[in-house]
Amino acid sequence: MKKLLCGVDLGGTKLAVGLVNHEGHLLDKIVTYDHTKKKEEGVLKIVADQIKTLLKNNHLNESVLEGIGVGVAGHINYHKGMVITTSNFEGFKNYPFRDRLQACFSVPVVMDNDANAQTYGTFMFGAAKGYDNMIFMTLSTGIGIGIIIDKKLHRGHTGTAGELGHTIVNADSPMQCTCGNYGCLMALASGMALPAVYEKTVKNGIRSMYEDEEGFDYGMVDGKFLNEGVENGDPASVAVVREIARYTGIGLYNVFQIFNPPLILLGGGLLELGESYFNEIKRIFYSLVREMLYDPIDIKISHLGPDSGLLGAAALTLERP
């Protein structure tokens, strides 16, 4: 029997642990939500326990595993196997999560950030299969890219390559990012930026149907809020979707100029803003790229589905140096 892959998707709200085969099919999974209030050692224990439970449920020994791949929503030092920092859990400052988890198992444990994991998932099992080079762009709470060059993930010196969200695309913008800088893509187009972008839009004179409602707070503005706003004809919501799509299109264009890839896949929760958002991103991209595009480029939504984080984490176990 061919070995199986174990994927761990360690997110800000959800912990998913799954068994995946070499073809990228999810065979079984366990999803829990009780890790978020724990500190490092507590999270570690839950992850290790869930992996063991999953194996037990399937009457399997650990030796059936090719390895365990962990995708973490946070800043990762891949080479050292450390979570540098994450805004999603308590603690986790330079925490050697990989080695601590490795101590609980005899099969190899690998760990990376969720963007790289998802990138590798699309490369092994999804729409990027067969490409030597491609870029995966996550549009979510944050914004980042995963970089496949010559069939390998490019992680950089520390392992923090692909921080597209922190690149500056509007140097004179007053919009501040959580990193402290102004005019980063993250401050202009990410899920995290939505309250501030909505507020700025309203202050610039575009009408909001909601701002006078009792209990309204700009902090409530998220993807779901905007979707409802657009559906109800809220002018500010429509303007915000167009604005974040504009900056995302600029980010996509910058990625094109730097990497000249044949394929850019988009993933992440913001895509639930729908066709008008995705189409506006592409419209901006093509309006900038014009005659500088000499060969066609595919810009597509990655359809790895709701388990893309798990599949990506599992795919990491198949990476060869």
Asked if 288 touches a second copy (CB under 8 A), the answer is yes
| Binding-site member from 60, 161, 206, 238 for a second copy (CB under 8 A) | 161
Asked if 23 touches a second copy (CB under 8 A), the answer is no
Q: CB of residue 174 vs a second copy: minimum separation in angstroms? A: 11
**Residues in region 297-316 near a second copy by CB under 8 A:** 297
**Residues in region 78-97 near a second copy by CB under 8 A:** 84
Question: Do 66 and 4 touch, CB atoms closer than 8 A?
Answer: yes
**Residues in region 42-81 near a second copy by CB under 8 A:** 77
> Which segment (18-26, 65-73, 147-155, 228-236) binds a second copy by CB under 8 A?
147-155
Q: Could you give the CA distance from residue 86 to residue 75 in angstroms, rounded to a whole number? A: 6
| Measured torsion, CA atoms of residues 37, 158, 19, 145, in degrees rounded to the nearest 10 | 90
Residue type, 38: K
Q: Could you give the CA distance from residue 117 to residue 146 in angstroms, rounded to a whole number? A: 8
**Nearest Cα to Cα of residue 212 among 180, 190, 244, 234:** 234
Asked if 206 touches a second copy (CB under 8 A), the answer is no
Q: Which residues contact 151 (CB under 8 A, 6 or more apart)?
A: 123, 132
Asked if 250 touches a second copy (CB under 8 A), the answer is yes
**Nearest Cα to Cα of residue 168 among 282, 271, 75, 250:** 250
Query: What is the rounded radius of gyration, in angstroms, for the C-alpha atoms of the chain?
Result: 20
| Binding-site member from 55, 164, 197, 244 for a second copy (CB under 8 A) | 164
**Residue where the block lists tokens 């984080």:** 309
Asked if 169 touches a second copy (CB under 8 A), the answer is yes
Asked if 125 touches a second copy (CB under 8 A), the answer is no
Asked if 209 touches a second copy (CB under 8 A), the answer is no
Question: Do 14 and 43 touch, CB atoms closer than 8 A?
Answer: no
> Which segment (5-13, 28-36, 246-254, 265-273) binds a second copy by CB under 8 A?
246-254
Site residues (vs a second copy, CB under 8 A): 77, 84, 133, 145, 147, 149-150, 152, 154-164, 166-173, 179-181, 183, 246-247, 250, 253-254, 257-262, 288, 290, 292, 294-295, 297
